[in-house]
């Protein structure tokens, strides 16, 4: 049952999504992570280039409600990352900054970011992934607590494969104690792609808290036994696992509702890079920076990540 349409719910904030890979260098080297996501020798822009880049980006999107999604690699390992977030939050059009992080850097890094969360209430969010092969539970929980105390929304993703370590129970209990004090904490398991395990199912039941709506919800339409079904979804991992992510030939709002900035500054209309070449380079002041005025016809057989599925799209 492939989806016929994905659209923004009319009663919720719809963000223009910018996904920005700050660096492809990472503090971990997880077996399930694609090699290109954690290249230790990948190019990194310096502080001035990053800050100038966010200024340029804001000038291109002054009338939009923008959410910047910073990822990597591990974005917080870049020395200029707190300065980049501070520069981004100074622009009114950038309504949210979401940081995808494993929280593995020294505590002082997160103290600086927590300070920004206190200065800019409701505008800084963290998606904190816990990787059992590398992460230290006590250090991870202390960083989550620090962010929550500063008013930062935190979504913890417990990355689980077919074998679930016994330590997951203790970690969940520690996180649930935080959840009792901070309603802005959400805990969810994240299955490694292709994982089917009754133990992961149990963890899902243990962490079935009502999620915080961060603007991720989409109204979707699909055909079930010749009946049109409408529903609102926030998570799309099940869509991918069920093979319902087939959008080849669909009209997609990539470029008019989303952008992707790579670690070298090259800009595409979406994370899946539907264009043969970049639209422009955010880090090059001589690059002709102009945004698309129309969406794209999807050239890919399937969407491989939730970020791409969330971009509004429809059968044509």
Neighbour tally for 272: CB within 10 Å: 22
d(CA 249, CA 24): 31
Whole-angstrom Cα Rg for the chain: 19
Q: Name the CATH architecture for the domain at 14-212+256-290.
A: Alpha-Beta Barrel (3.20)
pLDDT score recorded for residue 162: 57
Q: Write the burial class of residue 78 (CB in 10 Å: 0-12 exposed, 13-18 middle, 19+ buried).
A: buried
CA distances from 5 to 14, 48, 103 (A): 16, 41, 36
pLDDT score recorded for residue 247: 92
Residue in the structure block whose two tokens are 């008019």: 256
Return per-residue pLDDT of the chain as tens, 316 residues.
Answer: 678 999 988 877 789 999 999 999 999 988 888 776 777 788 999 999 999 999 999 999 999 999 999 999 999 999 999 999 999 999 999 999 999 999 999 999 999 999 999 999 999 999 999 998 889 999 999 999 999 999 999 999 888 875 667 778 888 889 989 988 888 898 888 777 666 666 667 777 777 665 556 778 889 998 887 888 888 887 787 788 778 889 999 999 999 999 999 999 999 999 999 998 999 999 999 999 989 999 999 999 888 888 889 999 999 8
Which structure tokens are listed for 138? 């006590």
Contact indicator for 8, 67 with CB cutoff of 8 Å: no
DSSP for 79-146 reads TTHHHHHHHHHTSTTEEEEEEEE---S-HHHHHHHHHHHHHSTT-EEEEEEEETTT--HHHHHHHHHH
Q: Is 243 left (phi over 0), alpha (psi -120 to 50) or beta?
A: left
pLDDT score recorded for residue 60: 95
């Amino acid at each position: 049952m492939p989806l016929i349409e994905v659209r923004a719910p009319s009663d919720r904030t719809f963000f223009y999504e910018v996904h920005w890979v700050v660096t492809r260098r990472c503090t971990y080297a997880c077996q399930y992570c694609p090699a290109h996501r954690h290249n230790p020798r990948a190019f990194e822009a310096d502080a001035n280039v990053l800050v100038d880049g966010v200024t340029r980006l804001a000038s291109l999107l002054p009338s939009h409600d923008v959410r910047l999604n910073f990822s990597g690699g591990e974005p917080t390992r870049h020395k200029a990352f707190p300065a980049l977030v501070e520069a981004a939050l100074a622009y009114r059009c950038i309504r949210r900054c979401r940081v995808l992080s494993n929280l593995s850097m020294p505590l002082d890094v997160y103290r600086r970011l927590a300070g920004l969360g206190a200065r800019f209430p409701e505008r800084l969010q963290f998606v904190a992934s816990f990787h059992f092969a590398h992460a230290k539970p006590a250090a991870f929980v202390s960083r989550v607590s620090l962010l929550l105390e500063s008013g930062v929304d935190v979504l913890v993703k417990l990355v689980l494969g077919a074998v679930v370590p016994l330590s997951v129970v203790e970690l969940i209990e520690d996180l649930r104690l935080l959840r009792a004090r901070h309603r802005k904490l959400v805990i969810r398991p994240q299955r490694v792609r292709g994982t089917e395990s009754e133990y992961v199912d149990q963890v899902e039941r243990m962490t079935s808290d009502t999620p915080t709506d961060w603007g991720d919800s989409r109204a979707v339409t699909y055909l079930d036994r010749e009946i049109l079904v409408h529903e609102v979804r926030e998570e799309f991992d099940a869509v991918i696992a069920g093979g319902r992510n087939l959008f080849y030939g669909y009209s997609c709002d990539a470029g008019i509702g989303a952008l992707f900035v790579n670690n070298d500054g090259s800009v595409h209309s979406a994370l899946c890079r539907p264009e043969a070449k970049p639209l422009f380079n955010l880090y090059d002041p001589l690059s002709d920076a102009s945004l698309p005025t129309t969406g794209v016809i999807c050239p890919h057989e399937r969407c491989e990540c939730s970020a791409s599925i969330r971009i509004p799209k429809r059968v044509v």
